[in-house]
Amino acid sequence: MGKTAKYGGLGALAGALAGAAIDHNNRGKGALIGAAVVGASAAGYGYYADQQEKKLRASMANTGVEVQRQGDQIKLIMPGNITFATDSANIASSFYQPLNNLANSLKEFNQNQIEIVGYTDSTGSRQHNMDLSQRRAQSVATYLTSQGVSGANLSARGAGPDNPVASNADVNGRAQNRRVEVNLKAIPGQQYQAPAQQGQTYQQYP
């Protein structure tokens, strides 16, 4: 089952339940209305995310950036070996091309909540790592906005050594934990274009 169909189906189920609950006098009618509206919303955003994911995977190929799809969220994982030098929040030269590619994508697909999160390994004090990860996330946000990405739905935060993806007990694990993640999500209440053959715009459910 494709992602769009999957999200549309789940949305339709949720909408059916909501519609039945709202229309006490005609539960069948309410369920059908709820399923149609919410299911169309989910399919609309699912299609939007499908297209964005496809283009991101193409533009990030061979850059070292990993593109993941987690439900209705797209996550880009940018490893420490291409992002920043040790103990620095200055963008490394190897990081500019992936960031330029990302900026171009975010200007084309400009209907996302964009969350930028910086991470470190566990070496050093927690306070230092929290500050460093915050500065790194902010450096990425500042660069993206300088390239024309809207800051209206963009946020940056540092998570320090939290949420490690590998063990901090060895060099390779610590290297994996030093990273920047960019999370792309739907904007609550935003309208997204459903698949072209339907030719309609639906409201995204919260």
Reading the chain (206 residues) residue by residue, the pLDDT tens digits are 555 545 454 444 444 444 445 455 555 544 444 444 444 344 577 889 999 999 999 999 999 999 999 998 999 999 999 999 989 999 999 999 999 999 999 999 999 999 999 999 999 999 999 999 999 999 999 999 999 999 999 999 999 999 999 999 999 999 999 999 999 999 988 888 644 544 444 444 34
- Sign for the CA dihedral angle at 23, 29, 31, 37 comes to negative
3-class DSSP state for residue 48?
Answer: helix
CB of 166 closer than 8 Å to CB of 116: no
Give me the pLDDT at residue 193, please: 67
**Helix (H) or strand (E) run with residue 168 in it:** none
Give me the pLDDT at residue 26, please: 57
Give me the pLDDT at residue 28, please: 54
Give me the pLDDT at residue 167, please: 97
Give me the pLDDT at residue 2, please: 54
| CA gap 74, 123 in Å, rounded | 29
pTM summary value? 0.75
What's the fold here for domain 3-203?
A: 60s Ribosomal Protein L30; Chain: A; (3.30.1330)
Distances (CA, A) of 76 to 57, 70, 73, 104: 10, 11, 10, 14
Distances (CA, A) of 99 to 14, 53, 125: 37, 16, 29
Give me the pLDDT at residue 18, please: 46
Q: Which two tokens stand for residue 156?
A: 């940056």
